[in-house]
């Protein structure tokens, strides 16, 4: 089978591998669509400390079941369109015991080879059918679920006003997830097109933080209180600090983004505001299931979220284009058909 590898920072190669056969409890998947994640771009740039090279990237999966091994339940059968939960769980660590993403998690395409190949074999428990969803929608389930998990971590409820800093792919998931709870959502970004898409995803208001004061506008929209929840989905020191500065007293801050450099805080607000500071990593199966229900409803702007679709032969050039102009892309899909 054909595969695509990132061989070292800034370099890639195509190759061939023996097609896998499903072992007991495994499902053999034929890839149909694959989305690039920000972690794949970080791997290409050499900035992902969890990656060793060469690495087959990819964990945002739309696939068709090609075969099943012994011990796989009958509801998973050849020809069924599915997506995949790309994480692992040891079942023993403190995170697993708390029902969270495993301390020793090995994400497809990050700590282990991913799905940028014609076929991949996975445990049947990680496979999720999603009746009625298109291939494009199936490949959006995983990235949107990351934002849904952040909303869950922030205990977002109908009475909340939620500011989401960053309207990229993960931020869109947080916007859509918060809107699904009935909360009022304010999307913040520095790109007009992304803010327009954020409204389609569920934002009630938007703020272009380079054209207007973030603080003044948030104060105006919240009667001087600040939002009750701020979800940071950018990963810069400025937005890390802004989340703490702008959230209301007794509010919650959820960090999804990774800041690439150390962040300095005036920690008085942690205490004065009695804040809940929360991290959010990956997603859990119920988050995937909630996203599938959203996409099945037809209310999420699937087509507008996908910036570019390329065949496998152009997978490397698409990465280079994204690296050169990251703000121009929300989601890149690789089409295997």
Same domain? 173 vs 247? yes
Domain boundary among 279, 298, 321: 279
Of 262, 279, 296, the residue at which a domain comes to its end is 279
220: in domain:
yes
Mean pLDDT calculated for residue range 280-285:
96
pLDDT tens-digit map of 10-23: 999 999 999 999 99
**pLDDT of res. 260:** 83
66 and 179: one domain? no
Listed in sequence order, the DSSP H helices in 187-235 are: 192-201, 214-221
How high is the pLDDT of residue 258? 86
Q: State which residues form the domain around 210.
A: 147-279
117 contact partners, CB below 8 Å, separation of at least 6:
1, 2, 3, 4, 17, 31, 56
Cβ–Cβ under 8 Å, residues 163 and 246? yes
In a domain, 190, yes or no: yes
Does the pLDDT of residue 259 top 90, yes or no? no
In a domain, 74, yes or no: yes
pLDDT at residue 43 in the model: 96
- For the cut 90, the answer to whether the pLDDT of residue 26 exceeds it is yes
| Cβ(162)–Cβ(185) below 8 Å | yes
Supply the CATH number for residue 273's domain: 3.40.50.720
Question: Is residue 331 domain-shared with residue 250, that is, in the same domain?
Answer: no
Tell me the pLDDT tens digit for each residue of 199-240: 999 999 999 999 999 999 999 999 999 999 999 999 999 999
Contact 187, 167 (CB under 8 A): yes
Nearest Cα residue to 150 out of 54, 29, 237, 234: 234
**Are residues 159 and 268 part of one domain?**
yes
> Do 156 and 120 belong together in one domain?
no
Number of domains in the chain: 2
Same-domain check for residues 88 and 14: yes
223 in a structural domain: yes
The verdict on 209 and 110 lying in the same domain is no
- pLDDT surpasses 90 at 167: yes
Structural domain contains residue 284: no
pLDDT of residue 198: 98
- Burial, 114: exposed, middle or buried (Cβ in 10 Å; 0-12, 13-18, 19+)? buried
**Residue 257 pLDDT more than 90?**
no
Q: Are residues 115 and 196 in the same domain?
A: no
Residue 197 lies in a domain: yes
Quick one: pLDDT at residue 119?
97
pLDDT of residue 89: 95
Flag whether 287 is in a domain: no
Q: Are residues 210 and 247 in the same domain?
A: yes
Residues 154 and 91 placed together within one structural domain of the fold: no
- 102 and 163 together in one domain: no
Cα–Cα distance, 76 to 104 (Å, whole number): 28
Radius of gyration of the chain (CA): 20
pLDDT value at residue 337: 83
Which of 279, 295, 320 represents a domain boundary (last residue)? 279
pLDDT for residue 63: 98
Contact 90, 104 (CB under 8 A): yes
Q: Tell me: the pLDDT tens digits for 92-133? A: 999 999 999 999 999 999 999 999 999 999 999 999 999 999
pLDDT above 70 covers what percent of the chain? 100
Kindly report the CATH number assigned to the domain that includes residue 326.
3.90.180.10
CB 117 within 8 A of CB 2: yes
Tell me, yes or no, whether 300 lies in a domain.
no
Q: Are residues 226 and 271 in the same domain?
A: yes
Burial of residue 46 (number of CB atoms within 10 Å: 0-12, 13-18, 19+) = middle
Could you tell me which residues are beta bridge partners of residue 8? 11
Q: In whole angstroms, give the CA distance from residue 60 to residue 99.
A: 22
Per residue in 284-312, pLDDT tens? 999 999 999 999 999 999 999 999 999 99
């Amino acid at each position: 089978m054909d595969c695509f590898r990132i061989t070292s920072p800034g370099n890639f190669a195509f190759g061939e591998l023996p097609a896998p056969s499903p072992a007991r409890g495994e499902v053999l998947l034929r890839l149909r669509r694959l989305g690039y994640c920000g972690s794949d771009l970080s791997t290409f740039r050499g900035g992902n400390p969890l990656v060793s090279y060469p690495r087959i990237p990819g964990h945002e999966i739309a696939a068709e079941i090609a075969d099943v091994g012994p011990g796989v339940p009958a509801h998973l059968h050849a020809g069924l369109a599915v997506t995949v939960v790309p994480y692992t769980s040891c079942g023993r660590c403190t995170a697993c015991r708390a029902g969270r993403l495993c301390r020793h998690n090995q994400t497809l395409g990050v700590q282990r080879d991913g799905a940028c190949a014609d076929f991949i074999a996975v445990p049947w428990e990680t496979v999720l059918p999603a009746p009625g969803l298109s291939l494009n929608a199936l490949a959006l389930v995983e990235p949107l679920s990351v934002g849904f998990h952040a909303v869950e971590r922030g205990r977002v409820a109908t009475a909340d006003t939620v500011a989401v800093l960053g309207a990229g792919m993960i931020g869109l998931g947080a916007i859509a997830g918060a809107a699904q709870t009935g909360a009022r959502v304010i999307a913040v970004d520095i790109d007009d097109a992304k803010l327009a898409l954020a409204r389609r995803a569920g934002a009630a208001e938007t703020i272009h933080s380079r054209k207007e004061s973030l603080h003044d506008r948030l104060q105006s929209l919240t009667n001087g209180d600040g939002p009750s929840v701020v979800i940071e989905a950018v990963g810069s020191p400025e937005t890390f600090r802004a989340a703490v500065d702008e959230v209301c007293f007794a509010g919650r801050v959820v960090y999804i983004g990774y800041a690439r450099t150390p962040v300095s805080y005036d920690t008085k607000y942690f205490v004065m505001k009695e804040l809940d500071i929360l991290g959010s990593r990956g997603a859990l199966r119920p988050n995937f299931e909630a996203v599938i229900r959203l996409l099945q409803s037809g209310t999420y702007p699937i087509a507008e979220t996908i910036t570019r679709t390329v065949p496998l032969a152009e997978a490397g050039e698409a990465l280079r284009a994204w690296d050169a102009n990251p703000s121009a892309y929300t989601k890149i899909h690789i089409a295997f058909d």
